[in-house]
């Protein structure tokens, strides 16, 4: 970590005297093992462990093709929002308003749909525009008017749900047309499924093309191995069941696109700098306000997509939609290894974090555990996962000195 | 500067011989790596006297102060350190506090949101059954403050008063309330205005008269001369003078600080004279440039007129709080609402940048003096840190997509040409040493191929060999035609590297000199020449 922070000039001078002749700091073996084992690999192991336990306790039902598809579909809404939340958190901000905004957005979608004044295509446009507008609202309060994101979006959390209730009158709205419903409950099957799977495989194998030029061959190989395992699992479950649910396909596409953008665009690389050291980013001439506003707009639009999935799946818009969604999304991001102080976090981590949380509630539901206990389990897993991550980041020391 | 003459009392000096010393340091040695910061330093301080501690940068005065207040703990130094005849073995600063040694910070370490009284009594609030006795707290605080002649409403919040002077005084008050007997003022006046300095010095005198011992570390020789009863001069870690204040002058102190370096040749004559100076348009020209005092700029900079020519290295010399950082940040667009005056680039007037992006667009680059705060993004790799901003065309396609191959090759080239010691472009920057991190930050500035490069104390906190690398880099950059402003408070390096030197003091420009000597520099920046 940042060795000069919190040390006096004397200490840092003493430290720099200890540096090796090559000018770099040597890590101890245990330090290296701990930093290696954390995040992605650790998360995969955690997910596999949870799956193994549920496989045994549910007599194999948990890992049936039907339940795997179900689990993926349940994960897709949280994952979609969490991917947007990742960008916001990477930049050192937070958005607490997404759950309430989902309630507002599904209400608006249901109202537009039931009025049937516009073609279904326009419903999607309206939802996305609403998401962008709400993101702009949050972003302007934070980046232009200087309200802390926690407060600005806490206000949104209250106001948007109130607005949703005012619009719906507290009733569950229905009358969703088939085109919108298909976003939530349709399956991709047959020829198009094979094409989709082939594309996913191609993208998953893409890092191999650059392996000859990469310094981290082993890391690339590990990533590709995981990706292939994921594709195999996806292929098996979708082909043997009814196909690939549209929400899952959407989540996969968004995840790939975001992962690509974060690693291969100027915007993406600078997003990490905005959260990692905002002052340094400003000194380097990066437009901070632009980045922050774009982040809020992105999470707003992805929440709008999640709203379309939600409405499509349910065929109705209940006023309590999206309750605690913001907290589940933040939990997924944080379990995925991102720091709430900004500067770190990966798409892969977020997907695994969302999957871990959803696996727990899915498995416990299969075991008929009451939801009260499910919540307790989720909460404990959240704390434990972040604690393990924190311990590994500070080199294995279990306690912190304040 | 006759203002302070009343506080000089030579009777104190003679009285000392009858008393026991409060502090006795003998043969203190401190090594930092291969450099010896203190070399067999012996200093004695008596109660009721103010000892001025002066020396050029790197002479070891801060190190000595840090030994006294326990910041350099026992074991890190060799030699003996006694208080009232008893050997001290401080583990940290709080151990030193307990023995009555207090450091008064440069800017005062106060909690803004608490009242003055609470700040003075922090961590030893009078209480009954764990409940704070407010009346007693404020009475004790007021009593402590009255010893230095300060009458303030102890119930009012620190933040409502503002001003570093009050914070420093509250810190002194805290030390008095704790029963401190030795007060180390480390450059306490450097961030203060003239009025505040006067009252601080008056309060130091009051403190001395109450029987405390004071060590006053300062760059400002006038202030040291006005208040000290004895003056200790350090040079290269050694005590070169320990004499009563009487009989000392500005010149005698400077001479002691620099030793026989007076005869040293001005380095600019050994270097090729810069031919561009005066013959063509200045790369950057400031006319009546100013920075107002604000939340972001603690010092106001008044009416600066300077030119820097292509290929020239212009030194910007001044002590801490002279306004170097504010001036450079103002030019770079970091203080948009408080700057004014005229900025000309290659002869054409340009608006003062509103933000760093505009400054970069005008071909101006900046390296901050605070590498950790404003420079590195610790979570990111060497490559990402080096390229941060990505303003240079050719790094991206359609100004948005990263060209991984171009980035990798440019990074490899920069790592080689800057001599950055790293395991690879993908290594996290936090693994590098301070000097190598600094090279990355300088590389980031050079990447945009600026016409004007502003360097704010670019060698702060890096080791000697990295410093040499940085100097070489700066000279090479100047040779390639970039105009450079190099700010520093170390007279040696500023003379070593600059073609001309602009001297700042209290936010004012007190001179532009070419090829001067350390002596002249110190005298001017120390305030012998009143503007």
In a shared domain, residues B240 and B288: no
User: Are A8 and B71 inside 8 Å of each other by CB?
Assistant: yes
Same domain for A161 and A231, yes or no, is no
Average pLDDT over residues B145-169: 78
In a domain, A199, yes or no: yes
Q: Which residues of A touch B462 (CB under 8 A)?
A: 16
Quick check: B393 contacting A, CB < 8 Å? no
Among the residue ranges A265-279, B308-322, B353-367, the one predicted with the least confidence is B308-322
Put simply, the answer to whether A285 touches B426 (Cβ < 8 Å) is no
Query: So what's the pLDDT on residue B9?
Result: 42
Please identify, among B448, B470, B485, the residue that sits at the C-terminal boundary of a domain: B448
Q: Is A138 found in the same domain as A158?
A: yes
pLDDT above 90 covers what percent of chain B?
37
Pick from A241, A273, A307: which residue ends a domain? A241
One domain, residues A156 and A68:
yes
3-state secondary structure (DSSP) of residue B240: strand
Smallest Cα distance from A1 to chain B, Å: 6
Least confident of B106-120, B125-139, B140-154, B360-374: B106-120
3-state per-residue secondary structure call for chain A: CCCCCCCCHHHHHHHHHHCCCCCECCCCHHHHHHHHHCCHHHHHHHHHHHHHHHHHHCCCCCCCHHHHHHHHHHHHHHHHHHHHHHHHHHCCCCCCCHHHHHHHHHHHHHHHHHHCCCCHHHHHHHHHHHHHHHHHHHHHHHHHCCCCHHHHHHHHHHHHHHHHHHHHCCCCEECCCHHHHHHHHCEECHHHHHHHHHHHHHHHHHHHHHHHHCCCHHHHHHHHHHHHHHHHHHHHHHHHCCCEEHHHHHHHHHHHHHHHHHHHEHHHHHHHHHHHCHHHHHHCCCCHHHHHHHHHHHHHHHHHHHHHHHHHHHCEECCCCCCCHHHHHHHHHHHCCCCCCCCCCCHHHHHHHHHHHHHHHHHHHHCCCCHHHHHHHHHHHHHHHHHHHHHHHCCCCCCCCC
From the list A280, A287, A343, the residue facing B375 with the nearest CB is A280
Summarised one tens digit per residue, pLDDT across range A179-220 is 999 999 999 988 999 999 999 999 888 888 777 666 667 777
In terms of CA atoms, which chain A residue is nearest residue B359? A285
The whole-angstrom distance between residue A394's C-alpha and the CA centroid of its chain comes to 24
The verdict on A131 and A89 lying in the same domain is yes
Tell me how far apart the alpha carbons of residues B107 and B110 are, in angstroms, rounded to a whole number. Answer: 9
Whether A30 is in a domain gets the answer no
**What pLDDT was estimated at residue A4?**
37
pLDDT at A244 (0 to 100): 93
From chain B, the residues in CB contact with A5 under 8 A are 372, 378
Task: Determine the distance in angstroms separating the CA of A279 from the nearest CA of chain B, rounded to an integer.
Answer: 5
Residue A36 has pLDDT above 50, yes or no: no
**Is A276 within 8 Å of B379 when comparing Cβ atoms?**
yes
Q: How confident is the model at residue A359 (pLDDT cuts 50, 70, 90)?
A: very high
Predicted pLDDT at B270: 40
Residue B70 tokens read as 């326990």
More confident residue, B394 or B163: B394
Structure tokens at B60: 């070891």
Facing A285 at nearest CB: one of B34, B360, B373: B360
pLDDT at res. B277 = 58
Asked if A325 and A194 sit in the same domain, the reply is no
Q: Taking CB atoms and an 8 Å limit, are B388 and A276 in contact across chains? A: no
Residues B356, A24: C-beta atoms closer than 8 Å: no
Confidence of residue B269 (pLDDT cuts 50, 70, 90): very low
Q: Report chain A residues whose CB lies below 8 A from the CB of B334.
A: 282-283
CB contact under 8 A, B380 and A287: no
Q: Does pLDDT of B266 surpass 50?
A: no
Domain endpoint, select from B400, B428, B448: B448
Check whether residue B417 and residue B334 sit in a common domain.
no
Residue A20: its pLDDT value, please? Answer: 36
Domain containing A313 — which CATH number? 1.10.3470
Please give the residue range of the domain that contains residue A351. Answer: 39-186+250-393
The dihedral over CA atoms of B489, B495, B496, B500, expressed in degrees to the nearest 10, equals 110
CB–CB contact B401 A264 (8 Å): yes
Confirm whether B161 is domain-assigned: no
Structure tokens at B274: 């810069």
Over range A173-183, report the average pLDDT.
Answer: 92
Q: Which range, A362-366, B139-143, B247-251, B515-519, has the best average confidence (pLDDT)? A: A362-366
Looking at the fold, whether B88 and B25 belong to one and the same domain comes out as yes
A280, B374: Cβ pair inside 8 Å?
yes
Mutation site, A284, A287, A340, A349, interface B, largest B CB count within 10 A: A284
Domain co-membership, A230 together with A328: no
For residue A22, list chain B residues with Cβ-Cβ distance below 8 A. Answer: 421, 423
∠ CA B76-B77-B78, rounded to 5° = 130
Shared domain check, B310 and B253: no
Does residue B142 form part of some domain?
A: no
In this structure, the answer to whether residues A383 and A255 fall within a common structural domain is yes
B217 and B231 belong to one structural domain: yes
Q: Which of A56-70, A195-209, A288-302, B349-363 has the lowest mean pLDDT?
A: A195-209
Mean pLDDT of the B87-110 span = 82
Query: Which chain B residue's Cα is nearest to A272?
Result: B380
Asked if residue B193 has pLDDT above 80, the reply is no
Closest CA to B491 of B509, B518, B459, B529: B518
In this structure, how many other beta carbons lie within 10 angstroms of the beta carbon of residue A367? Answer: 14
B376·A280 Cβ contact <8 A: yes
Q: Is B336 on the interface with A (CB under 8 A)?
A: no
Contacts for B36 with CB less than 8 Å, ≥ 6 apart: B29, B30, B237
Assess if residue B49 is contained within a domain: yes
* Alpha-carbon distance B422 to nearest alpha carbon in chain A (angstroms): 6
> CB-based contact (8 Å) between B394 and chain A?
no
Residue B107's pLDDT is 61
For residues A167 and A202, membership in a common domain is answered with no
User: What's the pLDDT tens digit per position in A67-122?
Assistant: 999 999 999 999 999 999 999 999 999 999 999 999 999 999 999 999 988 999 99
**Has residue A301 been placed in a domain?**
yes
Residue A283 has its nearest CB partner, among B66, B72, B366, at B366
Nearest CA-CA distance, residue A12 and chain B, Å: 8
Q: Parallel, antiparallel, or unpaired: how do β-strands B508-514 and B500-505 relate?
A: antiparallel
Mutation pick from A280, A287, A344 vs chain B, by most beta carbons of B within 10 Å, is A280
Nearest CA in chain B to A289: B355
Q: Name which of A1, A23, A282 is nearest B430 (Cβ-Cβ).
A: A1
Residues B220 and B88 in one domain: yes
Q: Which position has the token pair 């300062």?
A: B218
Spatial neighbors of B452 by CB under 8 A, at least 6 apart, are B283, B284, B308, B345, B363, B364, B365, B482, B483, B484, B485
Residues B213 and B346 in one domain: no
Here the CATH number for the domain that contains residue B475 is 3.40.50.300
Among B residues 295-334, those touching chain A with beta carbons less than 8 Å apart: 332, 334
Give yes or no: residues B295 and B359 share one domain: yes
B223 and B297 share one domain: no
Q: Where are the beta strands (DSSP E) in B113-266?
A: 127-128, 131-132, 182-186, 213-217, 230-235, 238-244
Mean pLDDT of chain A: 87
More confident residue, A98 or A378: A98
- Torsional class of B100: left (φ above 0), alpha (ψ -120 to 50), beta (otherwise): left
Q: What contacts A350, CB < 8 A, 6 or more positions away?
A: A79, A82, A83, A85, A86, A332, A333, A336, A338
Pairing of β B35-45 and β B182-186 = unpaired
Question: pLDDT at residue A64 above 60?
Answer: yes
In the structure, what pLDDT confidence band is assigned to residue B434 with cuts at 50, 70 and 90?
confident
Q: What is the pLDDT of residue B452?
A: 96
Q: How confident is the model at residue B197 (pLDDT cuts 50, 70, 90)?
A: confident
Do residue A264 and residue B435 have CB atoms under 8 angstroms apart? no
One domain, residues B85 and B193: yes
Judged by CB atoms closer than 8 Å, whether chains meet at A23 and B435 is answered as yes
Residues B216 and B299 in one domain: no
In the structure, what pLDDT confidence band is assigned to residue B515 with cuts at 50, 70 and 90?
low
Q: Which domain covers residue B404, as residue numbers?
A: 380-448
* Burial of A189 from C-beta contacts in 10 A (0-12 / 13-18 / 19+): middle
Q: Does B462 touch chain A (CB under 8 A)?
A: yes
In chain B, the number of structural domains is 3
Cβ atoms within 10 Å of B303's Cβ, excluding its own: 14
Confirm whether B195 is domain-assigned.
yes
Distance from CA of B371 to the nearest CA of A (A): 9
Looking at the predicted structure, is the pLDDT value of residue B125 above 80? yes
pLDDT for res A199: 92
The alpha-carbon gap from B356 to the nearest alpha carbon of chain A, in Å, equals 5
Confidence (pLDDT) at B263: 41
- C-alpha distance from B378 to closest chain A C-alpha (Å): 6
Does A142 share its domain with A221? no
b/e sequence B153-172, b meaning 16+ C-beta within 10 Å: ebeeebeebeebbbbbbbbb
Domain match, A387 and A345 both: yes
Nearest CB to B379; choose among A266, A270, A272? A272
Please report whether residue B269 resides in a domain.
Answer: no
Task: Answer whether residue A37 shows pLDDT above 50.
Answer: no
pLDDT tens digits along B27-39 = 999 987 777 889 9
pLDDT tens digit sequence for A215-243: 667 777 887 888 888 899 889 988 888 89
- Whether residues A213 and A66 fall in one domain: no
CA A187 to chain CA centroid, Å, is 23
| Closest CB from B368, B371, B378 relative to A276 | B378
What was the pLDDT predicted at A12?
39
In a domain, B337, yes or no: yes
Percent residues over pLDDT 70 in chain A: 89
pLDDT at A25: 44
Q: Is residue B200 part of a domain?
A: yes
Domain match, A286 and A324 both: yes
Which distant-in-sequence residues (6+ apart) come within 8 Å of A117 by Cβ? Answer: none
What pLDDT is attached to residue A313? 93
| Of A113, A233, A84, A244, the residue nearest A173 (C-alpha) | A113
Of the ranges B49-63, B374-388, B484-498, which is most confident?
B374-388
Q: Residue A23 falls within a domain, yes or no?
A: no
* pLDDT at res. A326: 95
B166 is a domain residue: no
- State whether B198 and B334 are in the same domain: no
Overall number of domains in chain A: 2
Is the CB of B423 less than 8 angstroms away from the CB of A24? yes
* End-of-domain residue from the set B429, B448, B467: B448
Mean pLDDT, residues B119-144 taken together: 88
A13 assigned to some structural domain: no
CB contact under 8 A, B400 and A266: yes
């Amino acid at each position: 970590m940042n060795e000069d922070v919190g040390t006096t000039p004397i200490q840092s001078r003493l430290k720099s005297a200890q540096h090796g002749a090559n000018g770099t700091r040597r890590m101890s073996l245990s330090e290296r093992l701990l930093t290696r084992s954390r995040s992605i690999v650790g998360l995969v192991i955690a997910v596999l462990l949870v799956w193994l336990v549920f496989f045994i306790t549910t007599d194999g039902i948990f890992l049936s093709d039907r339940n795997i598809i179900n689990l993926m579909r349940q994960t897709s809404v949280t994952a979609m929002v969490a991917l947007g939340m990742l960008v916001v958190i990477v930049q050192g901000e937070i958005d607490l308003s997404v759950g309430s905004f989902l309630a507002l957005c599904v209400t608006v979608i249901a109202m537009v749909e039931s009025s049937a004044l516009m073609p279904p295509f326009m419903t999607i446009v309206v939802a996305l525009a609403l998401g962008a507008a709400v993101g702009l609202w949050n972003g302007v309060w934070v980046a232009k008017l200087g309200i802390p994101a926690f407060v600005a979006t806490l206000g949104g959390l209250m106001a948007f749900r109130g607005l949703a209730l005012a619009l719906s009158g507290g009733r569950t709205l229905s009358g969703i047309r088939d085109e919108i419903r298909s976003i939530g409950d349709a399956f991709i099957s047959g020829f198009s499924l094979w094409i989709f799977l082939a594309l996913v495989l191609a993208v998953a194998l893409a890092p191999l093309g650059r392996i000859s030029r990469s310094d981290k061959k082993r890391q690339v190989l590990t990533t590709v191995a995981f990706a292939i395992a994921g594709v195999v699992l996806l292929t098996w479950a979708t082909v043997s069941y009814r196909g690939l649910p549209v929400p899952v396909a959407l989540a996969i596409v968004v995840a790939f696109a975001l992962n690509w953008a974060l690693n291969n665009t100027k915007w993406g690389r600078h997003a990490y700098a905005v959260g990692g050291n905002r002052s340094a980013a400003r000194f380097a001439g990066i437009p901070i306000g632009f980045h922050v506003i774009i982040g809020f707009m992105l999470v707003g639009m992805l929440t709008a997509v999640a709203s379309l999935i939600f409405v499509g799946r349910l065929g109705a818009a209940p006023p309590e939609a999206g309750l605690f969604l913001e907290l589940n999304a933040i939990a997924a991001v944080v379990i995925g290894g991102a720091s709430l102080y900004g500067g770190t976090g990966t798409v892969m981590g977020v997907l695994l974090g969302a999957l871990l949380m959803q696996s727990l509630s899915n498995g416990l539901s299969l075991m008929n555990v009451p939801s009260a206990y499910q919540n307790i389990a989720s909460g404990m897993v959240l704390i434990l996962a972040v604690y393990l991550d924190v311990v590994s980041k500070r080199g294995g020391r279990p306690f912190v000195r304040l | 500067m006759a203002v302070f003459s009343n506080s000089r009392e030579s009777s104190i000096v003679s009285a000392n011989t009858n008393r026991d010393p409060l502090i006795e340091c003998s043969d203190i040695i401190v090594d930092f790596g291969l450099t010896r910061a203190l070399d067999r330093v012996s200093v004695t301080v008596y109660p009721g006297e103010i000892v001025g501690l002066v020396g050029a940068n790197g002479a070891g005065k801060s190190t000595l102060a840090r030994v006294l207040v326990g910041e350099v703990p026992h074991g890190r130094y060799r030699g003996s350190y006694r208080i009232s005849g008893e050997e001290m073995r401080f583990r940290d600063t709080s151990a030193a506090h307990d023995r009555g040694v207090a450091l008064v910070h440069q800017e005062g370490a106060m909690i803004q949101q608490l009242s003055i009284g609470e700040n003075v009594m922090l961590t030893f609030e009078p209480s009954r059954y764990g409940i704070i006795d407010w009346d007693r707290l404020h009475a004790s605080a007021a009593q402590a403050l009255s010893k230095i002649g300060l009458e303030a409403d102890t119930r009012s919040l620190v933040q409502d008063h503002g001003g570093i002077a009050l914070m420093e005084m509250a810190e002194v008050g805290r030390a008095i309330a704790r029963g401190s007997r030795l007060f180390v003022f480390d450059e306490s006046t450097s961030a203060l205005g003239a009025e505040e300095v006067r009252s601080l010095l008056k309060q130091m005198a009051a403190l001395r008269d109450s029987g405390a011992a004071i060590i006053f570390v300062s760059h400002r020789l006038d202030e040291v001369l006005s208040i000290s009863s004895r003056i200790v001069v350090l040079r290269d870690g050694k005590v070169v003078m320990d004499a009563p204040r009487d009989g000392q002058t500005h010149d005698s102190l400077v001479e002691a600080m620099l030793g026989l370096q007076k005869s040293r040749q001005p380095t600019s004559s050994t270097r090729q004279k810069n031919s561009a100076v005066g013959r063509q348009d200045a790369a950057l020209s400031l006319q009546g440039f100013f920075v107002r005092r604000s939340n972001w700029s603690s010092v106001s900079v008044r009416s600066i007129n300077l030119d820097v020519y292509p290929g020239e290295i212009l030194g910007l010399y001044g002590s801490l709080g002279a306004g170097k950082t504010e001036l450079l940040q103002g030019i770079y667009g970091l203080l948009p609402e408080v700057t004014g005056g005229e900025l000309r680039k290659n002869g054409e007037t340009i608006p003062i940048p509103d933000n760093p992006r505009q400054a970069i667009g005008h071909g101006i680059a900046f390296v901050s003096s605070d590498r950790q705060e404003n420079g590195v993004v610790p979570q990111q790799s060497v490559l990402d840190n080096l390229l941060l901003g990505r303003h240079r065309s050719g790094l991206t396609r359609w100004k948005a997509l990263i060209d991984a191959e171009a980035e990798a090759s440019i990074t490899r080239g920069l790592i080689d040409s800057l001599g950055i010691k790293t395991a690879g472009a993908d290594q996290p920057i936090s693994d590098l040493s301070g000097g190598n991190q600094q090279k990355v930050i300088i590389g980031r500035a050079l990447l945009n191929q600026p016409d004007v490069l502003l360097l704010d104390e670019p060698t702060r906190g890096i080791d000697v060999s990295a410093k040499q690398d940085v100097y070489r880099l700066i000279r090479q950059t100047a040779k390639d035609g970039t105009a450079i402003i190099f700010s520093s408070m170390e007279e040696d390096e500023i003379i070593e590297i600059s073609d001309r030197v602009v001297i700042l003091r209290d936010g004012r420009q007190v001179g532009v000199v070419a090829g001067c000597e350390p002596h002249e520099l110190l005298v001017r920046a120390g305030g012998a020449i009143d503007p």
